[in-house]
Chains A and B, each alone.
Chain A
């Protein structure tokens, strides 16, 4: 036993716990001037002399873009505009701060832990207001020392050397008992990203054996889901929901599990439960809107999409597609005025980007068509076509809206071209193809539509099928050529991407390592996952990729 009567300023310590506060660059984000200055004073008393101040999220973003910071102390409530959590999400999502940067949230809410549990990203720590300078110093020191211990992990992570990052986590787990749980947590996420769900499963079981903390059980459920052990995953999730109902991520994952077994009704229910606990998260509302729309539940879809825009007013996760989604549901409900009002209200936001302008033009066209103003509709369609010709992209739903508007304005060839593009990229998405068919049915051109869809999907389907047949015959080289051509034709088609990845891996299995090809395979797999997150085949392909990598010693790159 040892006794310590304190009065030992951190700056006076030596060895690996020494922290040079005078070298730290700090940013204080706080809307209330009195508090802002008090916080600055607290930092100065710690020896942090390089302190910048920001009164709101916009100022903070501006400052962070000017120069890097080591420490950001941010109030959760920032008045109008983004709150502290949204600022954190934007900083991390846009890679404006690295893992080394300490982000601490200051909050008046004693239950901020619950806010953290419902958030997509957690800060490094949070301080409940009012707090004493001693607490701030201790917490900051503790995080800085932890980040120092994790420096190898972070370095590999930033360099995309994930296997090496795993190895560095293992070193920490072995040598630094204080950080064992943090290192296990980080390693678990790395294993999932690397497509090594069996190892992740074992790791989370190891944490649960220490204590069944909610994040570990959630990780276990995710690892099980990635191995298509969905029944076991669901059992774990139901248990988490009972013990820690505030852990909203459990509902998100449950909805993925339900989608995997094609139960869209249950997926919607899970998300609705999640939204009932925390309506704040934009992505959950987006997903709920999409699934409710697929389920034909327009009321739920509408309220979810409306919430996306309302709650996500300042969120980095809101895109122009979200405005298009809301307007589409409004029009499907026959609420033309509502759609027009949505456009009018968000005009400034939409006009700020070409993608937004495309949404605006397409939706405007649809509104005018419904109102019978064909002249104005034609003008809007003209504008949309010009934006497209300039390379502006839209999601599949918006493109089909655009095709519909083209047809209504008599621009059939252009409509066919757009539908063909959507169909190539979604040649096996029944939901999208059905929507496309309905467009033609409504326009009285069912036969023409069938032909467009048949031709568009035929090319891709043909290349795809030829590739698959060749692969089954063992001619992986030619199969790779065919499928990469199919990928070029349909650059956003996850199914084709996954097939291409599969034949590339088979080819390497057979012919030996081809560094360039495995890199292409990796990129295609990432793209497929972006297009179809949580698709049942992704996990298997990740595993295959991993096996190929270890078979040919890619992991040798990692330091011993």
Chain B
């Protein structure tokens, strides 16, 4: 039997992702014991497990994006639903360790056109980063900026290091570290959203913490 390299890799990653999904469900089943050391260890394991699952999800997408550009499947979705869903996911990952808020600007329309799966993948990636670095608060926001829907993950961490902000401004490739790769991936997702020539953007800046903002035209 001969292995077809890349497809085997993809199948293997799939399998790993599913096994990790089960592992993650199993970890969820471990009850809290009100014992700081124990609970903190389990929480760390859960967070790490989820983060690996999400990373694997990304790697599958990147694998598929090697031969062809990311082609978003655009449909009408509710920004409000998306923000609430992400808030719930973040809150479950934070387990009370960090406060998670959802913030919706009043001018956000009831529906917007985007690829829900891709956008949520980018947001969950930012949420993992923030959960790892935030001091006490994380907020997931929807607002309107320059006629685009802005989906923002904001934390009270020490902010992005200078080289990442610089890389972002220059639109250069990040270092292939965990954070850098995730951000690069989010940028690809943002840019794959296009509306009559207006392309989506990823904007990073520091404002009492790290601010990760997807602009969707």
Q: Which of A1, A139, A178 contacts B103 (CB 8 A)?
A: A1
Known contacts A110-B61, A130-B18, A178-B110; A211 and B91 CB within 8 A of each other: no
Say yes or no: A3 contacts B17, CB within 8 Å: no
Chain B contacts with A in 91-129, Cβ cutoff 8 A: 91-92, 99-106, 109-111, 113, 115, 117
Known contacts A110-B117, A213-B74; A130 and B85 CB within 8 A of each other: no
Say yes or no: A6 contacts B117, CB within 8 Å: no
Q: Tell me, in angstroms, the Cα distance from A322 to B143 when the chains sit together.
A: 55
Determine how close the nearest CB of chain B comes to the CB of A471; give it in whole angstroms.
47
> Which one of B75-83, B155-163, B176-184, B199-207 contacts A?
B75-83
Known contacts A6-B87, A130-B53, A177-B110; A211 and B102 CB within 8 A of each other: no
> Which one of B20-28, B35-43, B166-174 contacts A?
B20-28
Q: Tell me, in angstroms, the Cα distance from A6 to B93 when the chains sit together.
A: 14
Q: Tell me, in angstroms, the Cα distance from A30 to B84 when the chains sit together.
A: 28
Determine how close the nearest CB of chain B comes to the CB of A102; give it in whole angstroms.
15
Say yes or no: A142 contacts B78, CB within 8 Å: yes
Say yes or no: A6 contacts B102, CB within 8 Å: yes
* A393 interfacial contact with B, CB 8 Å: no
Q: Which of B73, B103, B110, B117 contacts A128 (CB 8 A)?
A: B117
Known contacts A1-B106, A132-B89; A110 and B99 CB within 8 A of each other: no
Neighbouring A residues of B25 by C-beta, 8 Å: 38, 130
Say yes or no: A178 contacts B101, CB within 8 Å: no
* B195 interfacial contact with A, CB 8 Å: yes
Say yes or no: A3 contacts B103, CB within 8 Å: yes
Q: Which residue of chain B has the shortest Cβ distance to A178 in the bound complex?
A: B110
Say yes or no: B111 contacts A181, CB within 8 Å: yes
* B165 interfacial contact with A, CB 8 Å: no
Number of residues of chain B lying within 8 A (CB) of chain A: 47
Determine how close the nearest CB of chain A comes to the CB of B142; give it in whole angstroms.
10
Neighbouring A residues of B105 by C-beta, 8 Å: 1
* B164 interfacial contact with A, CB 8 Å: no
Q: Tell me, in angstroms, the Cα distance from A519 to B196 when the chains sit together.
A: 47
Say yes or no: B74 contacts A34, CB within 8 Å: no
Say yes or no: B89 contacts A210, CB within 8 Å: no
* B60 interfacial contact with A, CB 8 Å: yes
Chain A contacts with B in 38-55, Cβ cutoff 8 A: 38, 41
Neighbouring A residues of B92 by C-beta, 8 Å: 132-134
Determine how close the nearest CB of chain B comes to the CB of A479; give it in whole angstroms.
49
Q: Which of B28, B50, B100, B113 contacts A211 (CB 8 A)?
A: B113
Q: Tell me, in angstroms, the Cα distance from A200 to B166 when the chains sit together.
A: 50
Say yes or no: B22 contacts A35, CB within 8 Å: yes
Can you show 5 pairs from A to B with CB atoms below 8 A apart? Answer: A134-B89, A134-B91, A135-B89, A181-B111, A213-B74
* Among A1, A117, A246, residue most surrounded by chain B Cβ atoms (within 10 Å): A1
The interface bits of chain A over 137-176 (1 if a CB of B lies within 8 angstroms of the residue's CB, else 0) are 1110010000000000000000000000000000000000
Say yes or no: A135 contacts B53, CB within 8 Å: no
Neighbouring A residues of B91 by C-beta, 8 Å: 6-7, 134
Q: Tell me, in angstroms, the Cα distance from A134 to B87 when the chains sit together.
A: 9
* A332 interfacial contact with B, CB 8 Å: no
Known contacts A138-B85, A181-B76; A210 and B21 CB within 8 A of each other: no
Neighbouring A residues of B61 by C-beta, 8 Å: 110
* B14 interfacial contact with A, CB 8 Å: yes
Say yes or no: B88 contacts A6, CB within 8 Å: yes
Q: Tell me, in angstroms, the Cα distance from A110 to B21 when the chains sit together.
A: 14
Say yes or no: B85 contacts A139, CB within 8 Å: yes
Say yes or no: A177 contacts B113, CB within 8 Å: no
The interface of chain B, by Cβ under 8 A from chain A, is 14, 17-18, 20-22, 24-25, 28-29, 50, 53, 57, 60-61, 64, 71, 73-76, 78, 81, 84-85, 87-89, 91-92, 99-106, 109-111, 113, 115, 117, 139, 143, 195
* A4 interfacial contact with B, CB 8 Å: yes
The interface bits of chain A over 71-113 (1 if a CB of B lies within 8 angstroms of the residue's CB, else 0) are 0000000000000000000000000000000000000101101
Neighbouring B residues of A131 by C-beta, 8 Å: 21
Q: Which residue of chain A has the shortest Cβ distance to B22 in the bound complex?
A: A34
* A5 interfacial contact with B, CB 8 Å: yes
Chain A contacts with B in 17-50, Cβ cutoff 8 A: 34-35, 38, 41
Neighbouring A residues of B18 by C-beta, 8 Å: 108, 129-130
Neighbouring B residues of A135 by C-beta, 8 Å: 85, 88-89
Q: Tell me, in angstroms, the Cα distance from A242 to B180 when the chains sit together.
A: 33
Neighbouring B residues of A128 by C-beta, 8 Å: 57, 117
Neighbouring A residues of B102 by C-beta, 8 Å: 3-6
Q: Which residue of chain A has the shortest Cβ distance to B96 in the bound complex?
A: A7
Neighbouring B residues of A132 by C-beta, 8 Å: 50, 89, 92
Q: Tell me, in angstroms, the Cα distance from A103 to B17 when the chains sit together.
A: 24
The interface bits of chain A over 185-229 (1 if a CB of B lies within 8 angstroms of the residue's CB, else 0) are 000000000000000000000000011010100000000000000
* A485 interfacial contact with B, CB 8 Å: no
**Closest CB pairs A-B (n = 8):** A130-B21, A134-B88, A181-B76, A178-B110, A177-B110, A211-B113, A138-B85, A113-B73
Say yes or no: A210 contacts B84, CB within 8 Å: no
Known contacts A6-B87, A134-B89, A178-B111; A211 and B117 CB within 8 A of each other: no
Q: Which residue of chain A has the shortest Cβ distance to B26 in the bound complex?
A: A38
Q: Which residue of chain B has the shortest Cβ distance to A129 in the bound complex?
A: B21
Determine how close the nearest CB of chain B comes to the CB of A248; give it in whole angstroms.
13
Neighbouring B residues of A215 by C-beta, 8 Å: 75
Q: Tell me, in angstroms, the Cα distance from A282 to B115 when the chains sit together.
A: 28
Q: Which of B53, B57, B78, B113 contacts A178 (CB 8 A)?
A: B78
Say yes or no: A210 contacts B113, CB within 8 Å: yes
Neighbouring B residues of A6 by C-beta, 8 Å: 87-88, 91, 100-102
Q: Tell me, in angstroms, the Cα distance from A35 to B110 when the chains sit together.
A: 35
* A2 interfacial contact with B, CB 8 Å: yes
* Among B75, B91, B117, residue most surrounded by chain A Cβ atoms (within 10 Å): B75
Q: Tell me, in angstroms, the Cα distance from A130 to B202 when the chains sit together.
A: 26
